[in-house]
């Protein structure tokens, strides 16, 4: 988990995320997810190259990560100044979105569908092949 400084004053908060300073990569792409209902599971893939930082800038969701070697962990994203760093080759599921959830995703790479592994069996095979 990453904690970003909240530059707060009486006008509100301002959170800064700079590539290679607050997160361990330069940001090539951002996207954000909102309007996902509570029962929806998103993600369900791994990335061969992309690193991500996920921040719920509003609302909350959960992120389950697996390493393909039997380890898994669930993280709750529910603060606009807290992010999760996801290195390549983790399987990730995002779920339990609150109605007001806005999940900001910072990525180290431009979009390339070919570096997404969306089949879990293929993912396990890729992990085992190193
Ligand atoms: P998808 O990867 O299924 O989203 P999530 O993992 O959050 O559930 O992406 C949904 C669609 O958007 C899919 O058709 C691919 C496309 N897409 C892009 O074109 N560029 C992007 O940067 C992303 C993240 C998705």
Annotate 10-54 with three-state secondary structure.
CCECCECCCECCCECCCCCEEEEEECCCCCCCEEEEEECCCCEEE
Quick one: pLDDT at residue 114?
98
45 is catalytic: yes
| 51, 92 Cβ separation under 8 angstroms | no
Quick one: pLDDT at residue 76?
98
Position 35 confidence tier, pLDDT thresholds 50, 70, 90: very high
Question: CA geometry: angle at 117 spanning 84 and 78, to 5°?
Answer: 20
Quick one: pLDDT at residue 130?
85
Q: Which residue has its alpha carbon closest to ligand 1 atom 7?
A: 43
- Whole-model pTM: value is 0.96
State if residue 118 touches ligand 1 by the CB under 6 angstroms criterion.
Answer: no
**Count of other CB atoms within 10 angstroms of residue 112:** 11
């Amino acid at each position: 988990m990453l904690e970003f400084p909240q530059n707060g004053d009486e006008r509100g908060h301002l959170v800064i995320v700079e590539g290679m300073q607050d997160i361990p990569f330069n940001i090539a792409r951002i996207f954000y997810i909102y309007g996902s209902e509570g029962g929806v599971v998103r993600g369900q893939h791994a990335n061969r190259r992309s690193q991500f930082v996920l921040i719920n800038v509003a609302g909350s969701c959960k992120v389950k990560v697996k390493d393909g070697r039997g380890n898994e962990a669930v993280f709750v994203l529910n603060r606009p100044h807290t992010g999760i760093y996801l290195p390549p080759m983790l399987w990730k599921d995002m779920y339990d979105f609150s109605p007001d959830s806005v999940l900001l995703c910072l990525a180290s790479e431009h979009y390339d569908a070919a570096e997404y592994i969306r089949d879990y069996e293929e993912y396990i095979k890729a992990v085992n092949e190193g």
